[in-house]
Structure 1
Amino acid sequence: MKTFLFKTTAIAALAASTALPALADKASGTLNVAFTKELENVDSYFNSSREGVVLQRAIWDGLIYRDPETNEYIGNLATSWEWIDDTTLELKLREGVTFHNGEAFNADDVVFTVNYVAKEENGVKTQRNVNWMKSAEKVDDYTVRILLKDKFPAAIEFLSGPVSMYPNEYYAEAGPSGMGLKPVGTGPYKVTEVVPGQHFVLEANESYHDSPKGQPEIAKIDIRTIPDVNTQMAELFSGSLDLIWQVPSDQAEKLATMDQFTVANESTMRVGYLQMDSAGRSGEDNPFTKLKVRQAINHAINRQELVDALLKGKSKVVYTPCFPSQFGCIQDVTEYEYDPEKAKALLAEAGYPDGFTIEFYAYRDRQYAEAIASYLNAVGIQTDFKMLQYSALRELNMNGEVPISFQTWGSYSINDASAMVSQFFKHGALDSTRDDEVLEWLNVADSSTNPDERIEYYTKAIQKITQEAYWAPMFTYNTNYVFTGDVDYTPTPDEVLRFVDMSWK
């Protein structure tokens, strides 16, 4: 069994050589935050990163809001809604709301936004978030109808998450590139500065409407992209940062021993998994078209050791291509115990007695990816490891050029299996399996209004996905948040960093 050792000397050195950090300057009202990953575009429809979700919830509003604690659906830009029929949702809109640029919010904005993002040719990055909508129609200035392509019982959940409302006049002129540089929403924070991929400045929206999100208490949020966690921690000690998140477990454990910091660990809906090109899109000699190779991969990974040694916190082992709490994410599936000898035997039976060499891709958590690669190496699969930016790896995946990769998905914090299983197994650009039977079952599960029927067909799909070992699901994530003594914040289990919930002590 492989043992993982952690480097804690850097933190110890910082603690020994650095005075207590200068606490956040409440007089200036500025909270200084670090992002680790570069955000390709602030426009929420044209990125699919967690950092993008964080900014989306701060800058824009949806029609509906789901309380992260109670899961209750509450009106936000809509005050009420009702189903006219199975594919027509009518919503009454909130009056008196204005966008950050002064445009008044009304039905025209909803119609424009829905009709724009629902058209596949407009290129929304995560089609699953929007392609269930056909169009929107204006009934009057504050009443709209959203027309669905088919019955979609998760519609309210999606409208409470990734579907944000944009100003029709501004977006028609600015488009995704303009919105990315000068974002305009109705949310609790407005953007005053964007340096793409590097720096974002938000200021409280003093005219924010009576939203269930609550009112912003911190006047200014200054966010910088700092890819190196050690650099983030050095700035935390010096006082130039007040809050960092997604801190590796070993470093968070050290910081938790220091009285000047609060370390909060919370579960997330993010799942880490290996995606294998079982459809053979990456080349004729791709070994992952063979079931026994995919089974060998699953048996080669010591999931529990990864959780215990690396992730820690509230992470758990999973064998499903979805998060356990999501509706339809059944747990009665094929499980692959850690058995490297069985993995070697399966490789030999598949025609690879000496293993093989393959390109292995990842975009985050290098330590996790390297540990996974070491398990593969141990059974004879030699990995040509390639670490890329998320956007670059996503494009390679969409083009079918990746044989195997370490991926994660947080489902945009949508508590429905369709947000993950249907995202990756319905013949879209990111589907590496192309299983027609799974597609057929997911089509039923996604459109049925009968909860029992939905579960029945998600069960069929998920059980086949695991039986065929299309993926190697491994673990759920947790997130470590570290902040200074002047910051008051309680993280929620949906991995959304909510600035509107933060305040000074």
Structure 2
Amino acid sequence: MTPLTTRRRAHLPSGRSAVVAGLAASALVLGACSGGDADEPAGEAGGAEVTIALPEEPRTLASWNAYSNDGHPVLRNVTEALLNRDPDSNELVPELALEWEQIDDTNWQFTLREGVTFHDGTPFNAEAAATSLNFVLDPENAFPMRTFLGPDVTASAVDEYTLNVETASPDPILPTRLYFVTIPSPEQVDDSDAYETNPIGTGPYAFESWNRGQNIVLTANEEWWGADSDDAMGEQDIAQATYVFRPETEVRAGMLSSNEADLAPRITSEQCDAAPVCESTPTVETVVLRLDTPNPVLADQRVREAIALAIDKDQIMNDILGGGETVGQIVGPGAVGYADLEPYPYDPDRAAELVAEAEADGVDVTAPITVIAREGFILRASEAVQVISAELQEIGLTGATSETQETAAFEEQWTIGYDNIPEDRAWAGLQQHGQELMDYAGSIGGYYSCDGQTSAYCDPTLEDMYAEAVTTSDDERQEALAAIAEYVYEEVPVVPIGQPNFNFGMTERVDWTPRMDGFILLKEMTVTE
């Protein structure tokens, strides 16, 4: 796998549209890379305090939200997973598990780290890990992060520090999936209020307070196992971290120059240039437009193809979202299943022809279509959806309008699943899809499968292809997944738009470099007074 190359501020390409020229944005909560020597023991916590200005407040502090863009900046510092990723190579590395192996087609065993305790004093062992994993992954709980987790799993203790995880069907990438799943204290998972608001994990930082609408405070965990371990891949140089929520990019950028914040993600390229320190880097996200195929208009493949051809993707990426590469697939070259498909070209004339063909066959091309995005996630989402809706109107989809929604309302509708999408809803949803699994199967399960929680598409042919592909590995897996990528490229239930560059501003006292997976890990930062 090719390591991520980070850099100091790189000048992004200028856009072509006079209407939106000069707008630039990043689009995912930032990550962090070691500011110290990850090979040295972590040592005791330092005395530095930092303030991080986030564009949105977490919808919940439940551990399941540690995979998401609104949750992981906070939660991934409090709760830990069996595995993490090396910030340089992006390869899986030990965290709460030291070793792992597949013992047969459906069983994996993990050798756990000894001497670890949760913040509430509960010992971490195989029984604790099994209890918490079974709760977080319980189909009846249906937490949204299950979208990325393939077959149902059952965890059990083999002995005190050996954990077995059984999958309902073969899953060759189970360790990669479990990298998404942090482990909360088993003592709190039955208390829904505490689980949602007072996270308890094993991480280097412990939850201190959540003042809703204002801030979240974490403090260094004095009992963290990594304080005297040479494989902790970081250190507690920071004593306290305060997260504040400022949706306006101008406000977040301004907080850097006034020393009100030390780190500000998702600012524009111009704001990043003006920051004391700026990092611009690609990441694993892909901007997509997901189409509600249960809707009679969007069920027509010609209409979906027309939408793909109507969008000036270069304009969206480089004039609005701050720079990036247009793409033809929702995962990048580093993912298993990548098929190197060309981006759908910008061809409004052909798009208009397809709409006219559909109309001639009785499709109501004047019906409402809502180009919609979540507030505070994709930067300048309101501008992007306005541009896209105007482009749809120009090709004859005259009912197209635009809208943004706050996170909770948007996510509730975004994750209802194909079977629950009403026919009269016609969303063209602008969203970002993370490819942290580096395996296209996770994307298929989320966005294209009949049972995917974030899917608005169901196709029996694809279901058969997917069921066979997920049991394969190595070259066979690459071939099977790439065939699915080529299939959905023609069907167009999702329009891939591009992979953006992200801009992060910070003060000079912070030594930090972005990670490919986007996590903000405080243990990977150093701060000078």
- Is the contact between residue 65 and residue 72 of structure 2 (CA under 8 Å) also seen in structure 1? no
Distance 1:416 1:123, change over 3 A: same
Select between 433-442 and 333-342 the one with higher mean Cα deviation: 333-342
Which AA in structure 2 matches 1:52?
A: G
Alignment match, 1:224:
244
How many Å separate the matches in 2 of 1:467 and 1:149? 31
- Once the 2 structures are TM-superposed, how far is the Cα of residue 225 of structure 1 from its aligned partner? 1.2
- Once the 2 structures are TM-superposed, how far is the Cα of residue 133 of structure 1 from its aligned partner? 4.0
- Once the 2 structures are TM-superposed, how far is the Cα of residue 353 of structure 1 from its aligned partner? 9.6
The yes-or-no answer on 1:207 pairing with 2:207 is no
Residue 158 of structure 1 aligns to a residue whose secondary structure is helix
Alignment match, 1:23:
none
Alignment match, 1:344:
352
Deviation string 1:195-221 (CA, Å, 9 cap, x unpaired) is 345421011222221353322211111
- Once the 2 structures are TM-superposed, how far is the Cα of residue 320 of structure 1 from its aligned partner? 0.8
Alignment match, 2:182:
164
Higher helix share: 1
Deviation string 1:76-125 (CA, Å, 9 cap, x unpaired) is 21122222211111111111101111111111111102221232111211
Which AA in structure 1 matches 2:181?
A: V
Among candidates 412, 419, 423, match of residue 395 of structure 1: 412
How many Å separate the matches in 2 of 1:488 and 1:263? 11
- Quote the RMSD (CA, aligned, Å): 2.3
Distance 1:47 1:138, change over 3 A: closer
How many Å separate the matches in 2 of 1:391 and 1:453? 40
Residue 209 of structure 2 aligns to a residue whose secondary structure is strand
- Is the contact between residue 120 and residue 131 of structure 1 (CA under 8 Å) also seen in structure 2? no
Among candidates 101, 117, 125, match of residue 98 of structure 1: 117
The yes-or-no answer on 1:321 pairing with 2:330 is yes
- Is the contact between residue 344 and residue 353 of structure 1 (CA under 8 Å) also seen in structure 2? no
How many Å separate the matches in 2 of 1:46 and 1:242? 24
**Structure 1 residues not aligned, in runs of 5+:** 9-25, 281-285
How many Å separate the matches in 1 of 2:67 and 2:294? 24
Alignment match, 1:11:
none
Which AA in structure 2 matches 1:265?
A: S
Alignment match, 1:473:
496
Residue 187 of structure 2 aligns to a residue whose secondary structure is helix
Distance 1:28 1:366, change over 3 A: farther
- Is the contact between residue 114 and residue 133 of structure 1 (CA under 8 Å) also seen in structure 2? no
How many Å separate the matches in 1 of 2:428 and 2:202? 38
Distance 1:76 1:270, change over 3 A: same
How many Å separate the matches in 2 of 1:167 and 1:101? 8
- What TM-score does the superposition give when structure 1 sets the normalisation length? 0.87
The yes-or-no answer on 1:289 pairing with 2:304 is no
Among candidates 383, 386, 401, match of residue 384 of structure 1: 401
**Structure 2 residues not aligned, in runs of 5+:** 1-15, 24-44
- Is the contact between residue 65 and residue 212 of structure 1 (CA under 8 Å) also seen in structure 2? no
Distance 1:104 1:412, change over 3 A: farther
Which AA in structure 2 matches 1:300?
A: A
How many Å separate the matches in 1 of 2:131 and 2:211? 27
Alignment match, 2:312:
302
How many Å separate the matches in 1 of 2:428 and 2:364? 22
Alignment match, 2:267:
247
How many Å separate the matches in 2 of 1:111 and 1:439? 31
How many Å separate the matches in 2 of 1:197 and 1:327? 40
**Percentage identity across aligned positions?**
25
- What TM-score does the superposition give when structure 2 sets the normalisation length? 0.84
Count of residue correspondences: 472
Deviation string 1:166-186 (CA, Å, 9 cap, x unpaired) is 2212323x23x3123111000
The yes-or-no answer on 1:235 pairing with 2:255 is yes
Determine which structure has greater relative contact order: mean sequence separation of CA pairs < 8 Å that are 6+ residues apart, divided by chain length.
2
Which AA in structure 1 matches 2:309?
A: H
The yes-or-no answer on 1:434 pairing with 2:458 is yes
The yes-or-no answer on 1:270 pairing with 2:285 is yes
How many Å separate the matches in 2 of 1:184 and 1:353? 52
Residue 381 of structure 1 aligns to a residue whose secondary structure is coil
How many Å separate the matches in 2 of 1:233 and 1:335? 33
Which AA in structure 2 matches 1:400?
A: I
Residue 220 of structure 1 aligns to a residue whose secondary structure is strand
Deviation string 1:356-411 (CA, Å, 9 cap, x unpaired) is 54222111422222222232233233422221023312222314154223332343
- Is the contact between residue 334 and residue 467 of structure 1 (CA under 8 Å) also seen in structure 2? no
- Is the contact between residue 162 and residue 412 of structure 1 (CA under 8 Å) also seen in structure 2? no
The yes-or-no answer on 1:155 pairing with 2:174 is yes
- Once the 2 structures are TM-superposed, how far is the Cα of residue 491 of structure 1 from its aligned partner? 1.1
Deviation string 1:406-441 (CA, Å, 9 cap, x unpaired) is 332343622211222221111123221101111221
- Once the 2 structures are TM-superposed, how far is the Cα of residue 324 of structure 1 from its aligned partner? 3.1
Distance 1:353 1:96, change over 3 A: closer
Deviation string 1:232-253 (CA, Å, 9 cap, x unpaired) is 2232222211110011234324
Select between 26-35 and 367-376 the one with higher mean Cα deviation: 26-35
Which AA in structure 2 matches 1:169?
A: E
Deviation string 1:331-370 (CA, Å, 9 cap, x unpaired) is 2x36421111111111111107975542221114222222
Which AA in structure 1 matches 2:209?
A: E
